[in-house]
Amino acid sequence: MRIRAGCIALFASGPLYAQTPPVTSGGAPAAAAPVEPAPVEVSVRGVRDLGASAAQADELRDIPGTFGDPFQAVAALPGVIPVTSGLPYFYVRGAPPADTGYYIDGVPLPTLFHIGPGPSVVPAALIDRIELFAGAAPAEYGRFAGGIIAGETARPADAPRGEASVRLFDASAMVETPVGDSSSVLAAGRYGYPNALLSLLAPGLSLAYGDYTFRATHKLNAADTISVLALGSYDTETDASQELTPVDTLFHRVDVRLDHTWSRGSVRVATTLGYDRTATDLTPGILERLEETSVRVRVEAKQWLARDLRLEVGGDASGLLNRVGTAPLVLQQIAGAFAEVRYVPSDRIELSAGVRADAYATTQAVTGAADPRISLKFRVARWVSTLTTLGVSHQPPTYFLPIPGLRLDPSAGLQTVYQYSQGVELRLPLALSAIVTGFYDADRNTNDFASDCGIFAADCNGVARVDGSTYGLEATVRRAFSQRLAGWVSYTLSRAERHIGSTTFLSPFDRTHVIAAVVRYDFGAGVDVGVRATYDSGRPDIPAFTLGGVPVYYAFGTSQAPQMRLPDFYRIDVRAEKRWTFGAKWFAVVAEMFNATLTPEAVQYKCELTTEHCTAQTIGPIALPSLGVEGGF
């Protein structure tokens, strides 16, 4: 049986669970038995971020359809609505993709995933833990009106380690080694070559991507550690059919930090240098180059004021130079501070309350925002707890999708969302647990795809400022990954409304029902098999009529331009692995198929003006097979 050390309950916001080996009455490890003993789970009390869906990254690398990348597993969580199957852009509780923030060790990234159904830009072997905040995030995270996806890196290894992978569409490697008694160095890289497969499945599409990561740490003494984390990524995409916008993006981050610890607290001082660039024709027919160079300084401190009371405070300041095409450089400045208290007076009550304040300075104006947040968890009984979360979040204006190098003027007004959720968590027999959460988000001045066109306008699907609300119910039932048969089933019932004047309509990416089921079985002897099934109800679309081959739209709200639901979509992903272990070394063969059902997806309606007959236009199937070998030590 494959050993999974230190695993925790998948995406739980309650107690942590760790697998421990059986022991004899004398405390020594028991001798090996012919039959494997059942896993033992123990509860470990600790202070964690309330409202987070969290998991150890190692447990998510076996999820089918993720190609070994733990961050891709968030697409199977409740509240996460895919824009299009296979593309790494999500609506999180109604918030557009650009409103979701990505963090690695507190460093914000402009994007987390490569274009297409590829991996994240961070090597999986570096990540220790992943958190998703679909609602109000802790005060340390800010400036995003949607969800937060945060990753924490593993601490430096005590012994040399490494792993490598070669698949049909990319190759990657990572190696880490201690240097002396006080230092450590890690280097990783990935190169993608998916065109060999795309030539068969989508001959008009061309993709290329790559990334790198470097980390060095040095302990100055028992209390102080200095470290450098550098990472970067590039993606290029062209489409001979001209149905997709050509994209060429890259970014770099270098974070230098000093960590000082003492018996009851810690402080981190860090400086982050960044460069982002995108070349794309956001304006049809005009290729624009967007660039941003940034410097960010931050300070974060944590202190236990009492046994049951912890205080976190911090602040940061950034300077950003932006350029669009050949236009002059534009300077923006951002500064903010936060404070949050965690109070755990007993094993029945956990309280987290915080606030952050931010200011955005441009040549036009200084725009400020204050974001309060509070979460309360109450254990009603040993097997049931409730979790209530309230918060307000602000974010500068954005484009619909996250675009490295693009930063809009915040003096035009910030996006604002008022967030509320109420959840119930249940501990069930057979290593099962469940979470049911109701939520309501009120969106104000949000950037989203909206239809505010007039009669016979050329395009009604531009990005506009709208108000709206998203509300619904999320449910997850999971079985701990310490079991041979493990996984989860998640369901989201939601409605995302938008308002233009006196007209109320559905967000173009509203999906009433979203279901994801993940099942993984460990057969022993290094054999793992998994299946993931996904179902999304069709999203609303305003039909485009053709007049002489040119698409036109009626004014929204008239009888000629009703919203129509696209057909439902489903797909099945499969994965199988055989692993051999030779002491500290291992070798594996992995076969995986994204969209094994080869299901195409409807993306819009096309209608004939004279007959008013509408046909759902599809793309795909977006499918990706993978056969690869992996190894490590």
Structural domains in the chain, sorted by start: 16-632 (2.40.170.20)
Tell which wins on pLDDT, 302 or 560: 302
Q: Phi and psi (nearest 5°) for 125?
A: -70, -20
Burial degree of 289 (CB within 10 A; 0-12, 13-18, 19+): middle
Residue type, 162: G
pLDDT of residue 17: 32
Dihedral pair phi/psi, residue 311, rounded to 5° = -115, 135
Angle ∠(307,310,315) on CA atoms, nearest 5: 160
Q: Which amino acid is at 531?
A: V
Using CB atoms within 10 A of its CB, is residue 31 exposed (0-12), middle (13-18) or buried (19+)? exposed
What does the angle CA 349 – CA 351 – CA 357 come to, to the nearest 5 degrees? 175
pLDDT score, position 51: 72
- Mean pLDDT score, 116-123: 83
Q: What is the per-residue pLDDT for 58?
A: 86
pLDDT tens, position by position, 381-400: 999 999 999 999 999 998 88
pLDDT at residue 507, rounded to an integer: 85
CA–CA distance, 520 with 518 (Å, rounded to integer): 7
On whether the CB atoms of residues 518 and 477 are closer than 8 A, the answer is: no
Strands 90-92, 415-428: pairing is unpaired
What is the spatial distance between Cα 8 and Cα 68, in angstroms, rounded to a whole number? 18
Residue 274's φ and ψ, nearest 5 degrees, are -140, 150
Spatial distance between the Cα atoms of 89 and 82, rounded to a whole number of angstroms: 6
Residue 8 has pLDDT above 50, yes or no: no
Confidence of residue 15 (pLDDT cuts 50, 70, 90): very low
Please name the residues in contact with 171: beta carbons below 8 A apart, sequence gap of 6 or more. 164, 165, 190, 191, 193
Residues with Cβ within 8 Å of residue 66, at least 6 apart in sequence: 60, 72, 73
Count Cα atoms within 13 angstroms, Cβ side, for 623. 17
Could you give the CA distance from residue 172 to residue 177 in angstroms, rounded to a whole number? 17
Helix then strand then coil, in percent of the chain rounded to 5, is: 5, 60, 35
Task: Report helix, strand or coil for 59.
Answer: helix
pTM equals: 0.86
% pLDDT > 70, the chain: 82
pLDDT at 524: 92
- In the three-class reduction of DSSP (H, G, I as helix; E, B as strand; rest coil), residue 197 is classed as helix
Distance CA 377, CA 389 (A): 9
Mean pLDDT of 349-372: 94
pLDDT in tens, 478-493: 999 889 999 999 999 9
Q: Which helix (H) or strand (E) holds 60?
A: helix 57-60
| Weakest-pLDDT range from 103-112, 121-130, 306-315, 491-500 | 491-500
In this prediction, residue 551 carries a pLDDT of 56
User: Are 491 and 514 a contacting pair, CB within 8 Å?
Assistant: yes
Mean of the pLDDT values across residues 495-511? Answer: 83
- Residue 408 one-letter amino acid: L
Measured from the Cβ of residue 595, the count of other Cβ atoms closer than 10 Å reads 25
Q: Is 566 helix (H, G, I), strand (E, B) or coil?
A: coil
Mean predicted confidence (pLDDT) in 297-302: 97
pLDDT in tens, 243-261: 556 778 999 999 999 999 9
- Over residues 592-633, the pLDDT tens digits come to 999 999 999 998 887 776 666 788 888 878 888 899 999 999
For position 197, what pLDDT does the model report?
74
- Would you say residue 28 has pLDDT above 70? no
Flag whether pLDDT at 367 surpasses 90.
yes
Q: Which letter does DSSP use for residue 72 in this model?
A: G
Using the predicted structure, report yes or no on whether residue 191 has a pLDDT greater than 80.
yes
- Do 99 and 89 meet the contact criterion of CB atoms below 8 Å apart? no
What string of DSSP letters covers 18-57?
Answer: EEE--B-TTSSBPPP-SSPPPPEEEEE-----TT-EEEEH
Give the type of residue at 268.
R
% of the chain beyond a pLDDT of 90:
58
Per-residue pLDDT tens over the stretch 422-465 = 999 999 999 999 999 999 999 998 888 754 443 333 444 456 78
The DSSP code sequence of 271-282 is EEEEEEEEEEEE
Confidence of residue 555 (pLDDT cuts 50, 70, 90): very low
pLDDT-derived band at 87 (thresholds 50, 70, 90) equals confident
Cα(191)–Cα(207) distance, rounded to whole angstroms? Answer: 11
Flag whether pLDDT at 164 surpasses 90: yes
Specify the pairing of strand 148-153 against strand 101-104: parallel
Of residues 144 and 501, the one with the higher pLDDT is 144
Amino acid at 110: P
Over residues 561-580, the mean pLDDT reads 90
Are the CB atoms for 439 and 420 separated by under 8 Å? yes
Residue 35 burial (CB count, 10 A): 5
| 8-state DSSP, 456 | T
Residue 29 has what pLDDT? 41
Tokens of 556: 């929204």
pLDDT of residue 39: 47
Question: Among candidates 256, 264, 263, 253, which has minimal Cα distance to 225?
Answer: 256
Q: What is the pLDDT of residue 304?
A: 96
Q: Taking 80 as the threshold, does the pLDDT of residue 466 lie above it? A: yes
* pLDDT score at 456: 35
DSSP state of 220: S
Q: Could you tell me which residue, 529 or 17, shows the higher pLDDT?
A: 529
Nearest 10 degrees: Cα torsion 192, 197, 198, 201: -150
Coil, strand or helix: which one is 463? Answer: strand
The DSSP bridge partners found for residue 125 are none
pLDDT band at residue 544 under the 50/70/90 scheme: low
CA angle 236, 239, 241 (to 5 degrees): 175
**Poorest-confidence range of 102-111, 174-183, 188-197, 469-478?**
188-197
- What does the pLDDT look like over 203-215, one tens digit per residue? 667 788 999 999 9
- Give the residue among 174, 83, 160, 74 at the shortest CA–CA distance from 122: 174
Q: 258-288: per-residue pLDDT in tens?
A: 999 999 999 999 999 999 999 876 555 556 7
Asked if the peptide bond before residue 621 counts as cis, ω within 30 degrees of 0, the response is yes
pLDDT at position 453: 41
Of 176-180, 407-411, 482-486, the least confident: 407-411
Query: Cβ(297)–Cβ(270) under 8 Å?
Result: yes
Would you say 492 and 472 are in contact if contact means Cβ atoms under 8 Å apart? yes
Q: In the prediction, which pLDDT does 462 show? A: 53
Question: Cα(56)–Cα(252) distance, rounded to whole angstroms?
Answer: 26
Query: Given this model, what pLDDT does residue 537 score?
Result: 93
CA proximity to 392, closest of 424, 418, 411: 418
H helix intervals, 223-353: none
| Residue 498: both structure tokens together | 């938008």
Going from the C-alpha of 620 to that of each of 29, 240, 244, 322, the distances in angstroms are 54, 15, 13, 36
